[in-house]
Chain A
Amino acid sequence: GDSVTQMEGPVTLSEEAFLTINCTYTATGYPSLFWYVQYPGEGLQLLLKATKADDKGSNKGFEATYRKETTSFHLEKGSVQVSDSAVYFCALSGDYGNNRLAFGKGNQVVVIP
């Protein structure tokens, strides 16, 4: 079945550092790809999405490019802030006809002042 794999372990970095979170996927057909974010004490929120190959999703300084050749959708931000501390989930929506989401395990990101 369709699945999403995120890099293992939490990510700790200093303010203004460059952030990359790796995400790869396995899917049949042409899935849509998403990054969701969960800030402390809040519900899941859509951060960005891409619906076809080579699309770039962007929001709040974060970017991710849909790479079909490498089945990847890595999340990047050039200069993180303390307020970016959260859990980030990569997800896909496959050709099910109902847009249900398959999520990765998530990565805890901690930004230190």
Chain B
Amino acid sequence: GAGVSQTPSNKVTEKGKYVELRCDPISGHTALYWYRQSLGQGPEFLIYFQGTGAADDSGLPNDRFFAVRPEGSVSTLKIQRTERGDSAVYLCASSSSLGYEQFFGPGTRLTVL
């Protein structure tokens, strides 16, 4: 079956612009996670959804970052007024419920010039 998909695979933008990154989780998975991976580092937690609600957004670095999951399936990570320091690979993962394996997507590589 289909895994977690993320679009676009690559995004290049200019400093100050707005970007949206999309995640399509595995069908039926209720839990969805966003992580950010900077060069040479491990992924860092950003936000977790259980269903439609953001159950834990404590990893979002500041209020320029926001994520939604309006119908409990697809999620969009939104970054306003992008900065060069936002350049990283943004990873999405989903799981069938708490305590089950997280399945990761291939990531979106964001480059802010």
Contact = CB atoms under 8 A, between A and B. Distances in A.
B56 A98 contact: yes
B42 A104 contact: yes
Nearest to A87: B42
B101 interface: yes
Interface stretch (A39-47, A64-72, A77-85): A39-47
B40 interface: yes
B104 A98 contact: no
A44 B95 contact: no
Interface in A49-89: 49, 89
A89 to B, nearest CB: 5
Query: Interface centre among B4, B95, B102, by most A CB within 10 Å?
Result: B102
Interface in B27-43: 31, 33, 35, 40-43
B50 interface: yes
Interface of B: 3-4, 31, 33, 35, 40-45, 48, 50, 55-56, 59, 91, 93, 95, 98-99, 101-102, 104-107
| Across the A-B interface, the 9 shortest Cβ-Cβ residue pairs | A103-B42, A44-B104, A100-B45, A43-B106, A43-B104, A98-B48, A103-B43, A98-B56, A105-B42
23 contacts: A36-B104, A43-B91, A43-B104, A43-B105, A43-B107, A46-B101, A46-B102, A49-B101, A89-B43, A96-B56, A98-B31, A98-B50, A98-B55, A98-B56, A99-B99, A100-B56, A101-B33, A102-B45, A103-B44, A104-B42, A105-B42, A106-B41, A106-B42
